[in-house]
Every structure is written in C-alpha cells, then in structure tokens.
Chains A and B, each alone.
Chain A
Amino acid sequence: MPQLSLTVNGKSHAVEVEGRTLLVELLREKLGLTGTHIGCDTSQCGACVVHVDGRSIKSCTMLALQAEGASVTTIEGLAKPDGTLHPMQEMFREHHALQCGFCTPGMVMSAIDLVQMHPDGLTEHEIREGLEGNLCRCTGYHNIVKAIAAAWPLMHGKQVPAAAE
C-alpha cells in the first residue's frame, strides 16, 4: 500500500493507505479523529469539512493520498491546548447554533473559512450563501447565521487573538 506523510492538528503522521481511501476515512478510521463526520455519499452535506492548508474542503471528496505533505486541521485541533475554544466554537455555544451536534464540526470549519475569506465584512446574505455546502436538519440555520455574524468581529478584531491554524 502507498505511504502517506501529512500533519494533522500539528502532529506528523506517516501511514499506509489504500489508493481509494478518502481523507475522511483516514481521519476517522486510521487516526481515530471521529469528530469529522460522514453525512452523505454525494458531497452534499458538509459534515466532513476540514481545513487542508488553511482552506475548507470536504474530506469525503479528497483522496487521502492527495493530502501528501499537507497540513490538516480538524475540529479536534481548533481549541487551544488549555481547552480555550476558538471564537467560532464559542459563538456557536453562545448562540445555540447546534442541537444534535452532528453537522456542527463541518459547519464550524466551513464558517471559519468563510469569515477568514471576508476580512472586510460579512452580511447575513453572504453568510447564508456561504453555507451552501453545509446541511443542518435541526436548527433551521437561524442561530448558525447569528453565531457566524457574532464570530466575525472576534476573529478580525483585536478583542480575541487569532486562532491557531
């Protein structure tokens, strides 16, 4: 089986994977990072979103081998080592932006990338459009939109230091 080297949440891994192994399968089954979820088989739901070299991607739509040499961040890698949550995680909690929690990891990872890509401001319309690739069946998105809007100033302002990526 082919060899793969990559960094996940700051830790280096050298693993053997089948050519057909998806990045999400590597994360969940080989590395035990079960915070990243699988909600569909057609790249529609976004439960599997992680960051690869700082950008959000659906890890069910990328072969593990394509991540050779990459730096991957999953939901488990967002909080600081002392447990302090990333501002996006904190705002999801504050605004009740999750219910069953299953879509949440992908939703948070997408939302962080969305905020990072909009340093000059983010309207409600842009947030709703930006969540096009993520499905939630519990919240009706109302509170997710509120949480992301509330996280924007925290991520771009001076109140809270930028999160480690």
Chain B
Amino acid sequence: MGFEGIGASVRRKEDGRFLAGRGNYVDDINRPGQLYAFIRRADRPHARIRGIDTAAAAMAPGVHAVFTGKDIEADGLGGLPCGWQIHNKDGTPMAEPPHPVIAVGKVRHVGDPVAVVIAETRQAAKDAAERLVIDYEDLPGIANLRQAVAQGAAQVHDGVAGNICYDWHIGDKDAVDAAFGRAATVVKLDLTNNRLVPNAMEPRSAVGDHDAAGDYTLYTTSQNPHVIRLLMGAFVLHVPESKLRVVAPDVGGGFGSKIYHYAEEAIVTWAAGKLKRPVKWTAERNESFMSDAHGRDHESTAEMALDEQGNFLALRVRTLCNMGAYLSTFAPCVPTYLYATLLAGVYRTPAIYAEVKAVFTNTVPVDAYRGAGRPEASYLLERLADVIARDTGRDRVELRRQNFIPKDAFPYQTPVALQYDSGDYFATLDGALKAADWAGFEERRKQSAAKGKLRGIGMSTYIEACGIAPSHVVGSLGARAGLYEVATIRVHPTGSVSVLTGSHSHGQGHETTFAQIVAEKLGVPIAQVEVVHGDTQKIPFGMGTYGSRSLAVGGSAMVKAIDKVVAKGKRIAAHLMEASAEDIEFKDGKFSVAGTDRSKALAEISLAAYVPHNYPIEELEPGLDETAFYDPKNFTFPGGCHICEVEIEGDSGMARVVRFTAVDDIGRVINPMIVEGQVQGGVAQGVGQALMENAVYDANGQLLTGSFMDYTMPRAEDLPDITVGTESTMCTHNPLGSKGCGEVGAIGSPPAVINAVIDALRDYGVRHLDMPATPEKIWSIMQGGMQPGRPAMAAE
C-alpha cells in the first residue's frame, strides 16, 4: 500500500459500485408488495379549494387509495415544522404560518400538494390522478419581492400582515450613521441575487414501509436522516424514534435541497401504515422544479462610506429575501445568520448595519442552496468593491488589499457577531493573481479583440463561515437543534475498522476521506476501513451534511473517538506488556513501550479487547468501540480569491468563461483530488448562477422555468478548465485544522464572473448588471439600448 493518510490523492473507494451501475439510490429500492404514490399538485399559484371530487380517481384501475389534506388532518398529523426561529427588531417572534403536508383550504404555490393517489403501478397512480376534479377559486397571487411588501399586495397567509415573515437587523446603526455623516464618499449599489433551482441530478424519492410489529421505515433522498426522523416522528406523524427508521442510502447530489423535511416523506410513511403496504414516490423532474426548495432570491441596497484614502468606514445594507409560500426547515436562518453575519467579508470595515426583511410570496419555499446566504453576502460585497473602485477611480486589486483584515489581526472580531480564527487574504490574493497571470491580461485582451471578441477579467476576495456550529451559539440565535456531530470508531477483533458517522455522503467521498483519517491516525489500510452512514438504525445519532461541515465537525468527532480508542488501547497494551500506560506510545498502528523494542500491533490489542483472557478486566471494560459527540467551538472560515476571464461575442452578446482560477484557504486538506473536484463543481454552479440560471415566475406566481428546457443548466461546453489551488492557514479550534471546501466554489465565483463581464463591457459605461448575464442583456448594452438598470428599492 502506498501512502493513504492525510494529504494523499487516494482514488475513491465508492467509485467501484457507482461505475458498475451498482449504486443503491432510493428509486432503486423496491419493497415486496410495494404500491406507488402520485401527487396531484396545484397548477396555479394561489387559490381557494372549494372541493375535490375523488370518486372517479378512486374507482380507476389499480387504485388503492386517494388522500387529501382532510384525511391527513383527520388522522391528527402535524404540519411540516420549521427548525429555526428568528426574532424581529422589536423582540417578537417571526410569523410562522402552518405548513400542511397536503394543502387544506388553499393552495399557495404552483406545486403545492393537493391530493395523493396510491396505486399498483406508477402509471396507474398517474392516470388516476388525472381523474381528480379540483374546484378552485383563483385568488390574486404574488411572486415579486418588492410587490409583495407594497401596500395592497395580495396576502399569502391570513394573519401575516404585509407578507412579512420577519423584520430583523444586526450591527450598530448609530455607529454606521455617524460614519456616513463624516464620510468623504458614499458609494451605493442596488443588486439582485437571482433565484435558483438546485437540481441535483437525482430527483427526490421516498419509500415508506411498515411492518407487522408496527415499526416504520422510510428510505429517503436525504442529507441528514436523523434530522428527518426527529422532525417527522416528533412533529408530523407522532411516532417515537424507536419505532421509526430512516435510511438515506446512496444519494445523487443534494446541494442543500435534500436537507429539509418534505411532505412526500411524511405522505409515503403515513400511507404505508394506513394501507399496510410499502409506498414509493419518486419525483419527476417537473416536480423537482416546483417542490424542491429553491435558493437565493434577494433584493438588496448596499452603501459603503469611505474616507479620502479609500478606507472602508461603514457599510449599510437593506435586504428583502424571499421565503416562498411556507417556511422550509431552515429557511429563516439563511438570510440572517448565514448572510448578514458575513457582511464584513475579508475587510476591516469598522461599522456595519444590516436590515433584513423576509417575505412570503406565492412561490416554492426558498431555503439553503450550496453556500446559503454566504454567496449572497460575497456577491454584494465583491460587486460593491468593484463599483467603489470604478466610482472613485481606484485600482480594484489595491482597494481590496488596502482594506483587508491584516495578517496579524487574528483572532478578528467583526462588527457582525463572528470572530474569525485564522486567515491570510494577502496570500490567497497573491497566489491567485500569479496563477491567473493577472499581469498578462492586457496581451490576452488584445488577442481576443483581434478575433472580434471583448475580453474582461474580474475577481472576488471572499470569506465564508462553515462547520455549523457551536450548539449554545446557534441556540441563542434561534436554532431549535444542536449542531454537533457524532462518530463511532469500532475496531473489530481482528483489526479492521468500521466508522459510523452522522455525516452523510452524497458525492463528497466520505467513504474515502474518512477512511484516510483512520489510516493516518490508526495505521489501518483504507481497504480495511468501512465507513457507514445514512441509517438511523446503524448510526448512534447525527446532524448530517450541509454547510461544508462533514470534515470540520464530523471529522472532528471521528478524531475524538479515535483518541478514545488509542487511550484505551494504551491501557490494554500496558497490561499486556507489563508497563505503565504513561510509557506506551502509539504510532503507525503499533503500541510500544517507550525506549524499548517491545510493541503490540493494533490487531493484537483489539483481539485482547474482545477475547479478554489476559486483560485488566477489573479496571477496563472489554471491547474497542468508542463513540464521541463533537460540538464545535466556533465556525470555520474558509476564504480565498477567485479570478475569472470572459470573452463576449460581439454578434450575440454571449459571454463565455474562458479562464477560471480559484485559490482558496480551506485549512487542512485530506485528499487534494477530492478538494479540487469539490471546488470545480462549486465554481460550475456559480458560473451557472452568474451567466445562465434563473428561476422565473410571472407576476402572479406561475412558474415559467419548470423544466430543463426552460431553465439553463451549465453543460460541458459552457465551462472551461477550472484551475484550483490552495493557500491554507489552519483552523485553530478543531483537531484536524480543516475548514471545509464544499461551498467555496459557489460562493467565490459569481461576483468574479460578473466583475469580468462588466470589465469586458468597459467601453459601454456599464456600472452594474444583474445576474444572470444573458446574451440578451449584454447584447442590449452593446447596442447602446436600454441598460438593464433597475428602479431604486421602494421605501418599505
């Protein structure tokens, strides 16, 4: 075996089954006697349900049952719960309207479940659902944020005045007002963060099962099966955890959209209990578009106060953010504690004040999507930095460098709650400038011009917060859960190892990287390490994978459990070698007595632990199986610099990314190959947001981009090679020093792309351009026609 420990680009253990077509995704699971559910969804954004005639559907061939929201209500099920409570400026709690599993009385967005048909086959259920007669009374709908908060707007929920979920703020308003009063210059920018559809390639799916003993099993496409068990068991079905098993097997991408507890999970589990047959539901892609939680959707105004030298004095931000029609599981925390707390960015701005209004509309619920709040913060800051440079005639690189938090200022307390533990923004900036050959850009611009193309270069220097999060901190901020992670290290009698982790892999490669940590720390070849995840019956507990937390939090729990294994192993080794435990050293899989050649291999120790014939049984329990809960001490703070070059075709206005360089500080790297892949994938999603992707609703809330034919996904020919480098400082407060790499690509890239597009259009006097920078928008600018400007944000 070659080197397999921390830092090795080991090829992935999981690839064998995926490449052979032997993955085990939820839709691949079929239970004996299984029935199929098809969900009839609202085809309109807002309507009163006057009646549902289920008779014809119920009599259709192969149909076993038709259920509506009234059946769910009659069985006493709860609504879908929200896991985070935000408080308003005045201290009152946010508005939290009910979120029924199946709509009762009204539908509030296109895609809202109205009825479910359960039949022998998928086709029979779908055919029968066509026979449902739903009598709607259409109501005015609302999709646009500024219109939703205007006087006289349609109301999404009775009792939620003005559609405001919460009106929240953070920072020191007086200090900011004072700084604006003495500023030499104020630069203001209005900007939109476009709404996105996550579109993991595997559509959501759920299979409910119920056995003779009354136990339920749910197989579901989830990033956090224990969280689903807790939410669905305690709040919706009222089933104790001991009677409910949730399995998230191979999951085909998540990007946040598979964190949440969705209606379909409750429907199939409940229906399986009622019908005493397993029930499967799998989304068609059109259902994904209208029922998976969407991402982003902010409207913001940002103002920076500067002194004569270009130093940032104060930042003022007002943001409207879309919650959609109901609160998804973690929606309220995204535009507050994952967004506004990041508004310091990498800059030493001394005073910051942000106001965030969350708004209900007749659209699909919005929640965390890769980056979640942090892409919105970095986009705002990094667009603003370029606009400041432009408006004040400064160099955009030097303006950033001048305002960076100095290297010796860590730990650095920002004015918006967070304390950064480590970082070196000069190193990532300089590394990226060099790797991207920033200095050589003018030559490339000339070459593009010779081909009739406009070429631009842009950058972003960003930070994000990962490794969510210290439980007492998030508890004080409104989280209704702790955010630790759990790991068990089970050394088997003959020395192979099982890792049971509460993290979940849906593309991240944990089966490999977690095994590498065991290889490094216990000296066991990765072939003898099995990583088990995604099953509440096998894993003690877990909070799951999101917010780039698996390594920083889940990996830390593993290290803590490994340390316990080693500590116990030392005591066993001391007994076997008749030495003192303090004199036992553990290295490369061997326990040895310091200063002697006496040693015992891990497998000898584990055998003695399970066959304790010669064992300190009076003072030590048998077995070598340790569990640890790790609660992080702080967030981690990955950051870096992304540089993008675009070429714009003069004839079409089509912008194409031709070079992209990311240099990130992500702390300790376990597997460089996997890190590069994570960053490249994140950048692709960020380029998608910047140039192509946009979830579009009409004024009433009809979804216009409801399929891959209307919603532009980045394809291979839309992207260049993506150069990835690291310039890492170590996280100071977790045992691995790792910060997280899953989201950096999607956080750093959108402003770099837009800054490059605007640079390419420098001869056209463009100050700002909202995402996505489509050919239509760019072509219009090049024709000297209407600039895609936007009205100032209405006073709210």
Q: A99-B253, A101-B507, A131-B716 are in contact. Are A93 and B11 (CB under 8 A)?
A: yes
Instruction: Indicate if B3 sits at the interface (CB-CB under 8 A).
Output: no
**In chain A, what residue has the closest Cβ to B678?**
A99
Q: A47-B201, A76-B21 are in contact. Are A102 and B722 (CB under 8 A)?
A: no
Q: Please state if B716 and A127 are interface contacts (CB–CB under 8 Å).
A: yes
Q: Please state if A140 and B719 are interface contacts (CB–CB under 8 Å).
A: yes
Q: Please state if A39 and B285 are interface contacts (CB–CB under 8 Å).
A: yes
Instruction: Indicate if B213 sits at the interface (CB-CB under 8 A).
Output: no
Which of A40, A78, A94 has most chain B Cβ within 10 Å? A40
Q: A85-B19, A99-B507, A100-B506 are in contact. Are A20 and B123 (CB under 8 A)?
A: yes
With the chains together, A118 CA to B252 CA distance in Å? 31
Q: A98-B15, A137-B199 are in contact. Are A132 and B716 (CB under 8 A)?
A: yes
A-facing residues in B710-752 (Cβ within 8 Å): 713-717, 719, 721-722, 745
With the chains together, A98 CA to B25 CA distance in Å? 15
Instruction: Indicate if A155 sits at the interface (CB-CB under 8 A).
Output: no
Q: B678 contacts which chain A residues (CB < 8 A)?
A: 99
- As a 0/1 sequence over residues 115 to 159 of chain A, the CB contacts with chain B under 8 angstroms (1 = contact) are 000000000010111011011111111111100000000000000
Q: Please state if A96 and B674 are interface contacts (CB–CB under 8 Å).
A: yes
Q: B508 contacts which chain A residues (CB < 8 A)?
A: 99
Q: B22 contacts which chain A residues (CB < 8 A)?
A: 35, 76
> Which of A36, A134, A137, A140 meets B255, CB within 8 Å?
A137
Residues of A within 8 A of B (CB-CB), count: 54
Instruction: Indicate if A52 sits at the interface (CB-CB under 8 A).
Output: no
Instruction: Indicate if B708 sits at the interface (CB-CB under 8 A).
Output: yes
Q: A132 contacts which chain B residues (CB < 8 A)?
A: 715-717
Instruction: Indicate if B680 sits at the interface (CB-CB under 8 A).
Output: yes
Q: A96 contacts which chain B residues (CB < 8 A)?
A: 11-12, 673-674, 676-677
Q: Whole-angstrom distance from the CB of A85 to the nearest CB of chain B? A: 6
Q: A102 contacts which chain B residues (CB < 8 A)?
A: 23, 25, 200-202, 252-253
Instruction: Indicate if B685 sits at the interface (CB-CB under 8 A).
Output: yes
Which of B14, B23, B707, B716 has most chain A Cβ within 10 Å? B716
> Which of B19, B27, B674, B681 meets A89, CB within 8 Å?
B19
Instruction: Indicate if B20 sits at the interface (CB-CB under 8 A).
Output: yes
Instruction: Indicate if B683 sits at the interface (CB-CB under 8 A).
Output: yes
A-facing residues in B502-554 (Cβ within 8 Å): 506-509
Q: Please state if B716 and A145 are interface contacts (CB–CB under 8 Å).
A: yes
Q: Please state if A36 and B509 are interface contacts (CB–CB under 8 Å).
A: no
With the chains together, A136 CA to B282 CA distance in Å? 20
With the chains together, A28 CA to B707 CA distance in Å? 23
Q: Please state if B15 and A41 are interface contacts (CB–CB under 8 Å).
A: no
Q: B507 contacts which chain A residues (CB < 8 A)?
A: 99-101, 138
Instruction: Indicate if A12 sits at the interface (CB-CB under 8 A).
Output: no
Q: B284 contacts which chain A residues (CB < 8 A)?
A: 41
Q: B203 contacts which chain A residues (CB < 8 A)?
A: 38-39
Q: Please state if A40 and B717 are interface contacts (CB–CB under 8 Å).
A: no
Q: Please state if B201 and A136 are interface contacts (CB–CB under 8 Å).
A: yes
B-facing residues in A49-77 (Cβ within 8 Å): 74-76
Instruction: Indicate if B286 sits at the interface (CB-CB under 8 A).
Output: yes
With the chains together, A143 CA to B675 CA distance in Å? 12
Instruction: Indicate if A18 sits at the interface (CB-CB under 8 A).
Output: yes
> Which of A36, A45, A99 meets B681, CB within 8 Å?
A99
With the chains together, A78 CA to B18 CA distance in Å? 13
Q: Whole-angstrom distance from the CB of B778 to the nearest CB of chain A? A: 22
Q: A47-B201, A140-B684, A145-B716 are in contact. Are A100 and B253 (CB under 8 A)?
A: yes
**In chain B, what residue has the closest Cβ to A89?**
B19
Q: B252 contacts which chain A residues (CB < 8 A)?
A: 37, 100-103
> Which of A38, A93, A141 meets B684, CB within 8 Å?
A141
Instruction: Indicate if A79 sits at the interface (CB-CB under 8 A).
Output: yes
Which of B21, B509, B713, B721 has most chain A Cβ within 10 Å? B21
Q: B20 contacts which chain A residues (CB < 8 A)?
A: 35, 75-76, 78-79, 85, 89
> Which of A20, A76, A125, A135 meets B715, CB within 8 Å?
A135
Instruction: Indicate if B28 sits at the interface (CB-CB under 8 A).
Output: yes
Q: Whole-angstrom distance from the CB of A135 to the nearest CB of chain B? A: 5
Q: B16 contacts which chain A residues (CB < 8 A)?
A: 93
Instruction: Indicate if B645 sits at the interface (CB-CB under 8 A).
Output: no
> Which of A74, A127, A138, A141 meets B21, CB within 8 Å?
A74
- As a 0/1 sequence over residues 666 to 710 of chain B, the CB contacts with chain A under 8 angstroms (1 = contact) are 000000011011101111110000000000000000000001110
With the chains together, A135 CA to B285 CA distance in Å? 13
With the chains together, A13 CA to B708 CA distance in Å? 34
- As a 0/1 sequence over residues 12 to 48 of chain A, the CB contacts with chain B under 8 angstroms (1 = contact) are 0000001010000000100001111111111011010
Q: B716 contacts which chain A residues (CB < 8 A)?
A: 127-129, 131-132, 134, 136, 141, 144-145
> Which of B25, B282, B717 meets A131, CB within 8 Å?
B717
> Which of B286, B713, B717, B721 meets A41, CB within 8 Å?
B286
Q: Please state if A104 and B18 are interface contacts (CB–CB under 8 Å).
A: yes
With the chains together, A142 CA to B678 CA distance in Å? 11
Instruction: Indicate if B485 sits at the interface (CB-CB under 8 A).
Output: no
**In chain B, what residue has the closest Cβ to A145?**
B716
Which of B253, B255, B707 has most chain A Cβ within 10 Å? B253
Q: B18 contacts which chain A residues (CB < 8 A)?
A: 98, 101, 104
Q: A34 contacts which chain B residues (CB < 8 A)?
A: 21, 25, 27-28
Q: B713 contacts which chain A residues (CB < 8 A)?
A: 44, 135, 137
> Which of B17, B27, B286 meets A38, CB within 8 Å?
B27
Q: Please state if A138 and B253 are interface contacts (CB–CB under 8 Å).
A: yes
With the chains together, A36 CA to B251 CA distance in Å? 15
Q: Whole-angstrom distance from the CB of B370 to the nearest CB of chain A? A: 10
Q: A85 contacts which chain B residues (CB < 8 A)?
A: 19-20
Q: A36 contacts which chain B residues (CB < 8 A)?
A: 21
With the chains together, A104 CA to B659 CA distance in Å? 26
A-facing residues in B1-57 (Cβ within 8 Å): 11-12, 14-23, 25, 27-28
- As a 0/1 sequence over residues 398 to 440 of chain B, the CB contacts with chain A under 8 angstroms (1 = contact) are 0000000000000000000000000000000000000000000
Q: Please state if B721 and A142 are interface contacts (CB–CB under 8 Å).
A: yes
A-facing residues in B229-274 (Cβ within 8 Å): 250-253, 255
Q: Please state if B15 and A137 are interface contacts (CB–CB under 8 Å).
A: no
Q: Whole-angstrom distance from the CB of B202 to the nearest CB of chain A? A: 4
Instruction: Indicate if A112 sits at the interface (CB-CB under 8 A).
Output: no
Q: Please state if A45 and B201 are interface contacts (CB–CB under 8 Å).
A: yes
With the chains together, A136 CA to B253 CA distance in Å? 10
Q: A35-B20, A44-B709, A101-B507 are in contact. Are A128 and B253 (CB under 8 A)?
A: no
Q: Please state if A142 and B25 are interface contacts (CB–CB under 8 Å).
A: no
> Which of B14, B285, B681 meets A140, CB within 8 Å?
B681
Q: Please state if A141 and B677 are interface contacts (CB–CB under 8 Å).
A: no
Q: Please state if A42 and B708 are interface contacts (CB–CB under 8 Å).
A: yes
Q: Please state if B19 and A98 are interface contacts (CB–CB under 8 Å).
A: yes
> Which of B201, B683, B709 meets A135, CB within 8 Å?
B201
Q: Please state if A92 and B707 are interface contacts (CB–CB under 8 Å).
A: no
With the chains together, A101 CA to B249 CA distance in Å? 13
With the chains together, A135 CA to B716 CA distance in Å? 8
> Which of B123, B673, B717 meets A128, CB within 8 Å?
B717
Instruction: Indicate if A8 sits at the interface (CB-CB under 8 A).
Output: no
Return 7 A-B CB contacts under 8 Å, by A number: A37-B201, A100-B252, A101-B14, A108-B19, A132-B716, A142-B721, A143-B677
Q: Besides A96-B12, A138-B507, A141-B716, 4 other CB < 8 A contacts?
A: A35-B20, A131-B715, A135-B708, A145-B716
A residues with a Cβ closer than 8 A to B are 18, 20, 28, 33-42, 44-45, 47, 74-76, 78-79, 85, 89, 92-94, 96, 98-105, 108, 125, 127-129, 131-132, 134-145
- Top 3 nearest A-B pairs (CB, nearest first) are A35-B21, A102-B252, A101-B18
